[in-house]
Structure 1
């Protein structure tokens, strides 16, 4: 089955006002709803609402940081949604970033690969109902056991950008979640996980034919994200190091405006889907044609009604 996902909540739409749209999504052709967790809603609450509004949709977190909840609380949150949406919930976990983990949540951002691996292994045991006392390399747990074990453990996916984490996702998780890539980058990522592993990607979509406006939005997003060290390393690996070198230089010097202007048009056009709704759908399909399993639209509005835009971007 081809998948077609949407990121919720939509910007500017109150959380409870999503109900009518979410109830319509399956009939429009959407199969998935995914959330993120930065400084807006938490990742679980919108999905809990959606689980009752649209019982045919698959629900996923992309992603929940492994540092900002204790292992036991993370297992409890996942178990709650797995009980509310049996066989429809996917727990996506990952490292997030030092800004979110340390600056905003007062946690240490240390050993990201190890912490993700250990959290994955803990969650496998916890969500199966096991009583856990374990010294993991990056944390320890004493006598934890879920009081409400879900009927079936949810699938667990890992946020992964480069070979080490991608291979961990392929070996021990149920799939990989990635971000900020072009259709032409998908085969490079796919090569690290093999042909059978599910690959999810959040794709930023700005459905407008105002090219300059879309590129201006894209530049602000790219400079905000791709200057984060993990994303900088990801795009170095993908081959954009030289194209983005000036942006990094100016950003490091504190020249935000200059950094935005230094991003080449072709990089913006590779990484941000924009144009008419039909052109955006075709571009999204090109990700799938290149090996992506599940495209997840992150709608970037441009003065239009986001609910109408979601309907226009539905698969045909």
Structure 2
């Protein structure tokens, strides 16, 4: 499950983490956009829930310097030995540039360089290296973790997928349908048949189809108009389905962009329906090759009207 859950104060998540693990959720994964940072919720989980595996999906490679990212990951790996996986990725021009004043340039090269630096630094090596996108002079962690965390790379299209297969410990997928998984894995499985494959899956567990599709359309318009995600879905074969949305969005017609998204696309990318149906849909990702399907719980009318229903919802979602 993606944590923290919306609407629940972070200080109250001890009970949430316990409920998730009691229900059968094995992993707690964080994200980092404009809510909590990626590491604080997992640091709390490391202390509060010693049964759970932890992961970031993702920590952006532009928003922290190499040394700081290594120190942060090492600290969490020390707090949760053998239970933490560091997921990194390029993120987006908005997150990196508009919100964090970073130069979002050469995202492939920056991701590759940060991956190489982190693997060396987290192993306790002295890093004295001029990479293509940054230079590090004689950096060594004062507290290298006894168990270096696996480093996973977020990837969309073939170049980054092949980089993950060649140099990372796993790959993180995002914003794809269960039927898209084989296409993505065709770029990594031949080289790494036992590769860890994490996928964030957006789940709106409600029988109110209209509500779920409205939420889904807003999310799709916000994300799939970002150039990297637009190119990803062109590669997946959705250009005909999404071209009207892209055209309306580029013209400043936000309502038109939302209306142009076909129901079939929403239903493929946003898991919705009764919790048991959602569970079956998420299981389809696992059957397609995802080894760690990470649900991201979206708001529902039921949860908005009565937040206490979360306690009964969690066990119904666990696979």
Q: TM-score, normalised by structure 1?
A: 0.96
In 1, the alpha carbon distance for the partners of 2:83 and 2:151 equals 12
Offset of 1:310 from its aligned partner?
2.5
Would the alpha carbon gap of residues 72 and 273 (structure 1) be closer, same or farther in structure 2, given more than 3 Å must change?
A: same
Equivalence map 1:96-111=2 (5 Å): 96-111=91-106
Match of 1:233 in 2: 231
Distance 1:81 1:234, change over 3 A: same
Whole-Å separation in 2 of the counterparts to 1:81 and 1:14: 21
Aligned to 2:244: 246
The correspondence of residues 25-40 of structure 1 with structure 2, limited to 5 A, is 25-40=20-35
Per-residue Cα deviation, 1:60-93 (whole angstroms, up to 9, x for no partner): 0000000100000000000000000001000000
Deviations 1:11-34 (A, max 9, x none): 110001111121232221111000
Match of 1:310 among 284, 306, 314: 314
Q: In the alignment, is residue 187 of structure 1 matched against residue 182 of structure 2?
A: yes
The answer for the alignment partner of 2:266 in structure 1 is: 268
Q: Retained in 1: the 8 A contact 2:19–2:314?
A: no
Structural mapping, 1:39-188, within 5 Å: 39-188=34-183
Aligned mates of 1:109, 1:94 — CA distance in 2: 12
On the 8 A contact 2:206/2:212 being kept in 1, the answer is yes
Per the alignment, in what secondary structure is the counterpart of residue 193 of structure 1? coil
Q: CA deviation at 1:152?
A: 1.2
Deviation at 1:307, TM superposition (A): 4.2
- Preserved contact between residue 19 and residue 311 of structure 2 (Cα < 8 Å): no
Counterpart of 2:186 in 1: which secondary structure? helix
Q: In structure 2, do the counterparts of structure 1 residues 174 and 217 end up closer, same or farther at CA, with 3 Å as the change threshold?
A: same
**Correspondence for 2:253 among 252, 255, 270:** 255
What is the alpha-carbon distance in structure 1 between the residues aligned to residue 224 and residue 19 of structure 2?
A: 34
Output the CA distance in 2 between the equivalents of 1:140 and 1:308: 51
What is the root-mean-square deviation in Å for CA atoms of aligned residues?
A: 0.9
State how far apart, in whole Å, the 2-side matches of 1:15 and 1:311 are: 21
CA distance in 2 between partners of 1:145 and 1:289 (Å): 41
Partner of 2:217: 219
User: Is there any run of 5+ residues in structure 2 with no aligned partner, and where?
Assistant: none
Asked if the contact 2:203–2:297 (Cα under 8 Å) also holds between the matched residues in 1, the reply is yes
Displacement of 1:228: 0.4
CA distance 1:140–1:307, shift in 2 (3 Å): farther
Query: How many angstroms apart in 1 are the aligned matches of 2:222 and 2:312?
Result: 27
After superposition, the C-alpha distances for 1:171-222 in whole angstroms (9 at most, x for unaligned) are 1000000111111101111111103211111000000111111111110000
Once the two structures are TM-superposed, the CA of residue 312 in structure 1 deviates from its matched residue by: 2.2
C-alpha distance in structure 1 between counterparts of 2:244 and 2:252, whole Å: 12
In the TM superposition, structure 1's runs of 4+ consecutive aligned residues that sit over 3 Å from their partners are: none
Matched positions, count? 310
- Out of 303-312 and 286-295, give the one that drifted further: 303-312
In structure 2, C-alpha distance between the alignment counterparts of 1:124 and 1:31, rounded to whole Å: 25
1:3 is matched with which residue?
A: none
